Structure 1
């Protein structure tokens, strides 16, 4: 049972046809058909059903493809490790980032990684839903996860990078009247721009509102932090986002809040990796991360808000 057949089966599943898979693999169509038939004979099962919409994996095919994808990616990492002579490193590195975290830091770290390993292919997923991050990890296709909270109890090793403080974004008129730090209770009378119900960012806001006994009106729900910031700047409402998620040019419309809201930012790395993952981790550490610790009237110290299980993206034991 060869990895090449695994790769052919995965290509057919993604493309939905042998012809399209052959084109993506840059091989002849008969070669793909022959390899799929040989794989099905070897396994003694039917991996694909022929439908009007194309080739669709059967139930047993879907189960097989999940394990095949893990095996192919493991082989890719093994090849990359074997070629670990710096500039010669190639293969693919898959990074998943919780939406809104490391928005400013991650591009710089990835650029440094590409300069060090120019042949390395990097794929980045920005994901709002913690459940989807968990699914990617369970499939074994993510090499490094940039996430909030903790990865305790999972197979990934967590490295604390810093703390991401949240700031409120408001219109220019309201920003002119605001102080250096805004009391959350003052914002209860404002309409709020929030995020999708299943997103980690909205989970943060739900807990902040609950802890401060606030029930403001929701004027809009969006999927992207940049959209929330721009709409708040136009006066639609206020929003609460991580500091690094504020697009350039909007910083003057932001204020930290009291009580302070912050999330510990963690890089969760798959153990026993090749040289690319620790290199990216080191580049992430070299970026500027916030470490919260401010004083109110010289006496009150801010606290780190640690995400509860409903918000924290804990990578489970596989």
Structure 2
């Protein structure tokens, strides 16, 4: 029994298919099946139930894979720590990011990291639910989180980066866009709204804003991605409110600052006893502008 067999079993569980897992890992399907079979024989339990359409994880398999994930993560960190001690940043850094947060900053940071540390791989979990973040933290899967609020029970060290400004997004040609003045939520009460997936952090935030303002505008559409919502607004479906930095390039002219200004803190959580990769990432993140795009750092007012 070895870590490679753990990785094979985890890949099979992720893909739900021996064939798909073999393709992802770059091995032959018979070789992967043999290794998983040998692992099951050594454990004395069946990890997967074979079906005509693929495989499903057994109860014993779920228990084993939860611990196998921790073991493979620890192995990855050990390798990365050894290489970092020798002056080379390598391995995989895993990070969870709230929806839309860092949409402009993260690509720049990752580009800089790639050019300076080409052997360091960064994996992003975008838009996880709070429960998912808590589970990933508990399993030891995450190295860092980029969030508005540190999840309950998370023991990561917290580093404030700044604040994320929110702006209203209006359809092309909307009268409110003509003077670029700040808007109140009440100004948009009669508009149809493009909202987000129910239960998502962003939609919960909008629901609180509208509720606190005593507003219940009509929802005309829902989107799972901010870029999609902005494009729907651009086509005249309605209005929305989003983080300024998450507005796709080319749509900035559709944004209006809000009065009073709205913002949430931007926090990065780093696991205890971080390695060199986490500290380099933190340094790059700290040097970014976290008040949204420069255009909206200081909203205009009437």
Indicate whether the TM-score tops 0.5: yes
What's the secondary structure of 2:221's corresponding residue? Answer: strand
Task: Name the CA shift for 1:228/1:52 in 2 (closer, same or farther; >3 Å).
Answer: same
Q: From the superposition, tell whether residues 150 and 22 of structure 1 become closer, same or farther in structure 2 (CA, over 3 Å).
A: closer
The 4+ residue runs of structure 1 with deviation greater than 6 A are 291-297
Contact 2:257/2:300 (CA < 8 Å) preserved in 1?
no
Aligned-partner Cα distance in 2 for 1:27–1:179: 57
Residue 296 of structure 1 and its aligned partner are, at CA, apart by: 7.2
SS for the counterpart of 1:247 is coil
Cα distance in 2, alignment partners of residues 250 and 26 from structure 1:
41
How far is the alpha carbon of 1:253 from its aligned partner? 2.0
Query: How far off its partner does 1:235 sit?
Result: 2.3
CA contact (8 A) 1:87 1:116 kept: no
Q: C-alpha deviations, 1:127-158, integer Å up to 9, x for none?
A: 16333333433443222211112346412222
Name the CA distance, whole Å, in 2 between partners of 1:285 and 1:132. Answer: 25
Which residue number in structure 1 is paired with residue 66 of structure 2?
Answer: 66
Partner of 1:235: 236
- What TM-score, normalized to structure 2? 0.88
- 1:211 to partner: Cα distance: 0.8
CA distance in 1 between counterparts of 2:192 and 2:86 reads 52
Shift of 1:163: 0.5
Alpha-carbon separation, structure 1, partners of 2:236 and 2:19: 52
CA distance in 2: counterparts of 1:151 and 1:50, whole angstroms: 37
What is residue 215 of structure 1 aligned with on the other side? 216
Q: Contact 1:87/1:119 (CA < 8 Å) preserved in 2? A: no
* Counterpart residue number, 1:145: 145
| Aligned CA distance change for structure 1 residues 86 and 216 (closer, same or farther; 3 Å) | farther
Deviations 1:147-183 (A, max 9, x none): 1123464122221111001100112332334552112
Cα separation, partners in 2 of 1:129 and 1:174, compared to 1, 3 Å: farther
**Separation in 2 of the partners of 1:250 and 1:24?**
36
* Match in the other structure for 1:99: 99
Question: SS at the partner of 2:162?
Answer: strand
Judged with a 3 Å threshold, the aligned counterparts in structure 2 of structure 1 residues 3 and 294 are, in CA distance, closer, same or farther, namely same
* 2:167 corresponding residue in structure 1: 167
Is 1:50 aligned with 2:41? Answer: no
Instruction: For structure 1, list consecutive stretches of 5 or more residues without a partner in the other structure.
Output: 298-318
Separation in 2, partners of 1:262, 1:189: 23
How far apart in 1 are the matches of 2:204 and 2:217? 15
CA root-mean-square deviation: 2.6
Output the CA distance in 2 between the equivalents of 1:120 and 1:34. 31
Aligned pairs for 1:1-318 within 5 A: 1-18=1-18, 20-27=20-27, 31-85=31-85, 88-127=88-127, 129-151=129-151, 153-171=153-171, 172-177=173-178, 179-290=180-291
Secondary structure of 2:237's counterpart equals coil
The answer as to whether partners of 1:175 and 1:253 remain within 8 angstroms in 2 is: no
The 3 A distance-change label for structure 1 pair 219 and 123 is: same
